[in-house]
Amino acid sequence: MQHDKVLILDFGSQYTQLIARRVRELNIYSEIHPFNKIPSNIDDYKAVILSGSPFSVRGNEALHPDLSKIRGKKPLLGVCYGAQYLAHFFGGNVAPSNTREYGRAHLSKINEHGLFFKGISNGSQVWMSHSDTIQILPENGVLLASTDAVENAAFKIKDETTYAIQFHPEVYHSKDGKKLLENFLVHIAHVTPDWTPASFVEETVDFLKKKIGDDKVVLGLSGGVDSTVAAVLLHKAIGENLYCVFVNNGLLRKNEFKSVLHQYEGMGLNVKGVDASRRFMEALSLQDDPETKRKIIGRVFIEVFDDEAHRIENVKWLAQGTIYPDVIESVSATGGPSATIKSHHNVGGLPDFMKLKIVEPLKTLFKDEVRRVGAALEIDADLLGRHPFPGPGLAIRILGDITEEKVRILQEVDAIFINGLKEANLYNKVWQAGAMLLPINSVGVMGDERTYEKCVALRAVESTDGMTADWVNLPYEFLQKTSNDIINQVKGVNRVVYDISSKPPATIEWE
């Protein structure tokens, strides 16, 4: 089944991905493409949205693609820069704003005759973020709404389904933003909102069956959400021909290898657990540089995975849990050619398994959509709600060199912290949490004895994508109990601190 698609042309705004997500929340499939790479199959898209931009339409460097195949031919919505674009290049005038227009504003003088503002009343809060303003509407422009500071806050072009808004409907602070997108897409552009997690599962399974046929596929499971959902989808499509490999690098959380492996088996997956901890620990011996540790773990993982892939006779495909943010081409802030983030095309020197054909069933989904698809596949909510955990695992949370004893101590500390968060109903309020083993000893007293033992730092952050993060204000009582439990139960630790640094300038991991 083909779903209606919406094209979002990206002019480099920090909010472009949010537009795509809000549209998808309406059960409408949307794709982001750079402004200068309009898809040749433009007829396959039912409507087009122009994003905001850090650029000014007045500057020499203004981004100015040829929209002749779109404008007047398809429903078109310009947002912020997109709106200024539709004004400036079509007979209107855009000038620098007299007053700063960032943040909250309220709509007034709403034109209630059309479908665009249906169900949205005067006073509705919108979010502004621009330094230019539209002074004169373009040819055939019809004013649709204003705010106190911006006369031309929304307009349309007479006899066209071309609309433009100065504010950002995609941010939550624009209270009726989603309604407005719905009005434009469903009521004006007649897009059918039928793209749901259940339909995604059905169609992807169908697609995978056709694409893969009777071939064998190998997939590396990590215990995380993406690889798990990818595995379950593939399993539904090709059953036992999916060979999953779950590697224990000896740097997982306490008991994680056993319990996650057990969980995977319970889900009916054809999974092989490979305990390579010793191999990793030997390779990491005496290494204390963070990047070297990462490289060693990456290299050993590839060796182990390659060995396993070779054991699967006649395997043809490598499945990966790649998601949409990894493949969106970003528009660079300088307006230069856009950069693709990931590439698997440099074949020389790659291990054999990387020369397999690649299948990436989740590459059109955002993280929250992967979770919803996982729920539609009836994957355990605990598994879907797991905090992100770095590939190198506890290696980048043990500062300095790694020993089995240090891994044991950190696993114990981490388990007390994470289980405590779960027991106190705090786990789901935190985006990521973990403990760091610091390379210092400090003095303490236990009973009448002086101790000289390890210090651990606890870290809990809130975030949406890990790019920026803030520390979580955990209740003092919780921190007090956790600290007590750790010092009483974990031999070798006599001091616990809580990390109160945001990212930036700090990072989430300490290495």
Whole-Å CA distances, 100 to 83, 85, 127, 150, 171? 18, 20, 13, 11, 19
The residue from 80, 88, 130, 369 that is catalytic is 80
Q: Which residues, numbered 192-221, are part of the site for ligand XMP (CB under 6 A)? A: none
Give me 28's structure tokens. Answer: 């409408």
Please identify, using beta-carbon distances, which residue of 315 and 318 lies nearer to ligand XMP. Answer: 318
- State the minimum distance, in angstroms, from the CB of residue 65 to ligand XMP: 34
Would you call 170 a catalytic residue per the annotation? yes
Nearer to ligand XMP among residue 212 and residue 323 (C-beta)? 323
Per the structure block, which two tokens stand in for 250?
């000896």
**Sequence-ordered alpha helix ranges (H) in 155-224:** 177-182, 197-212
| CA dihedral over 354, 271, 266, 389, signed as positive or negative | negative
335 close to 63: Cβ distance less than 8 angstroms: yes
Nearest residue (CB) to ligand XMP, 235 versus 254: 254
Closest CB to ligand XMP among residues 136, 506: 506
Cβ proximity to ligand XMP: between 87 and 225 the closer is 225
Query: According to CB under 6 A, which residues from 381 to 410 bind ligand XMP?
Result: 388, 390-392, 396
Catalytic residue among 33, 88, 130, 170: 170
Q: Is 168 considered catalytic here?
A: yes
Residue 169 or 223: which CB sits closer to ligand XMP? 223
- Determine, following the binding rule CB under 6 A, whether residue 51 of this chain makes contact with ligand XMP: no
Bridge partners of residue 155, in order along the sequence = 143, 164
- Catalytic (active site) residue 344: no
User: How far apart are the C-alpha atoms of 82 and 197, rounded to whole Å?
Assistant: 30
Number of residues that bind ligand XMP (CB under 6 A): 12
Q: How far is the CB of 379 from ligand XMP (least distance, A)?
A: 21
- What would the x/- binding string for ligand XMP be over residues 444 to 483, using CB under 6 A? ----------------------x-----------------
Tokens of 54: 């850090």
The reply on whether position 494 binds ligand XMP by CB under 6 A is no
Angle at 190 between CA 66 and CA 75, to 5 degrees: 20
**Catalytic entry in 168, 182, 235, 308:** 168
- Decide whether 65 or 224 has the Cβ nearer to ligand XMP: 224
290 binds ligand XMP (CB under 6 A): no
| 3 state SS of 402 | coil
Write out the H or E segment, with its range, that includes residue 483: helix 476-489
Which window, 127-135, 145-153, 280-288, 501-509, contacts ligand XMP (CB under 6 A)?
A: 501-509
Minimum CB distance to ligand XMP, residue 168 (Å): 26
First to last CA, the chain: 47
Nearest distance from C-beta of residue 360 to ligand XMP, angstroms: 17
Around Cβ 7, how many Cβ atoms within 10 Å? 22
Amino acid at 65: P
**Binders of ligand XMP among 412-441, rule CB under 6 A?**
432
Report how far residue 272's alpha carbon sits from residue 102's, in angstroms, rounded to the nearest whole number: 54
Q: State how far the Cα of 239 lies from the Cα of 256, in Å rounded to an integer.
A: 25
Q: Tell whether residue 177 is a contact of ligand XMP (CB under 6 A).
A: no
Distant-in-sequence contacts of 487-493, Cβ < 8 A, 24+ apart: 489/412, 489/416, 490/409, 490/412, 490/413, 490/416, 491/409, 492/405, 492/409, 492/453, 492/454, 493/409, 493/413, 493/453, 493/454, 493/455, 493/456
Among 173, 344, 408, 503, binds ligand XMP (CB under 6 A): 503
Active-site amino acid positions: 80, 168, 170
Binding positions for ligand XMP, rule: CB under 6 A: 294, 388, 390-392, 396, 432, 466, 503, 507-509
